[in-house]
Amino acid sequence: MGFIDSVTTKLVDATNWARKYSLFQYPFVTACCGMEFMSVAAPKYDIARFGAEFPRFSPRQADLLIIVGTITERQGPALRRIYDQMCEPKWVVAFGVCASTGGFYQNYSTMPGADQVIPVDVYIPGCPPRPEQVLDGLMMLMDRIQRGEGHNQVVIANEKAARQAAKRGLSFDVPAAAIRPRTEASKG
């Protein structure tokens, strides 16, 4: 039992190591932050050094959703659907203050932060942020991925533990609410 557990742990470490160096991003670009995003992707700052250079313009092929710019209330359902379409495990970065909190837009149309509709792993401040800040945020996210602390990684781990406990007929301290109903979007 102990031996199996340690092998599994090492496997998770190796998988997370591979995941953090091969992020396929889906850039959800809505506003002026997109210019800084291009700068991050261009050769001078070169996000490719971190293995995250390949934007997929389909959420089904991406595992990192980068929200670049202001999100309006009207865009909320679209953003939620894009997040639901991404394959697990998945991560979300809010790029700039608008995506993080709504920024200086405090009005009827602007959503006060993308985390109103989807969970966000890393918030990058700035209006817009410098490319260095973005790379710093990306490295923070990579650390979280390695430790298995991305929001979706935790959800998956809790689900797995709860399922195994249910299979063994054990009571386990993961609440039943942690097991999500299987939807079309979350089916592997």
Partner 1 sequence: MAQIVLDRLTAQFQAGEILATGSQHGNEWARIRRDAWVAVATFLRDDPTTKMEMFIDLTAVDRFSTEPRFDVVVHLYSVSLKHRVRLYAGVPENDPTVDTLVPVWAGADWFEREAYDLYGVRFKGHPDLRRILMYPEFVGHPLRKDYPKEKRQPLVRRAQQTETGD
Interaction between residue 77 and partner 1 (CB under 8 A): yes
Interaction between residue 101 and partner 1 (CB under 8 A): no
Of residues 34-73, which lie at the interface with partner 1 (CB under 8 A)? 73
Q: For 5, what's the count of Cα atoms within 13 Å in the CB-facing half-sphere?
A: 2
C-beta of residue 99 within 8 angstroms of C-beta of residue 33:
yes
Q: How many residues bind partner 1 (CB under 8 A)?
A: 28
Candidate ranges 6-14, 37-45, 119-127, 130-138; the one touching partner 1 (CB under 8 A): 119-127
Reduced to 3 states, what is the DSSP secondary structure of residue 77? helix
Q: In what order do the strands lie in the sheet with 122-124?
A: 54-55, 24-29, 64-68, 91-95, 122-124
Of residues 136-165, which lie at the interface with partner 1 (CB under 8 A)? 150-155, 158
Query: In the complex, which residues of this chain contact partner 1 (CB under 8 A)?
Result: 73-74, 76-77, 80, 106-109, 111-112, 115-121, 150-155, 158, 177-178, 180
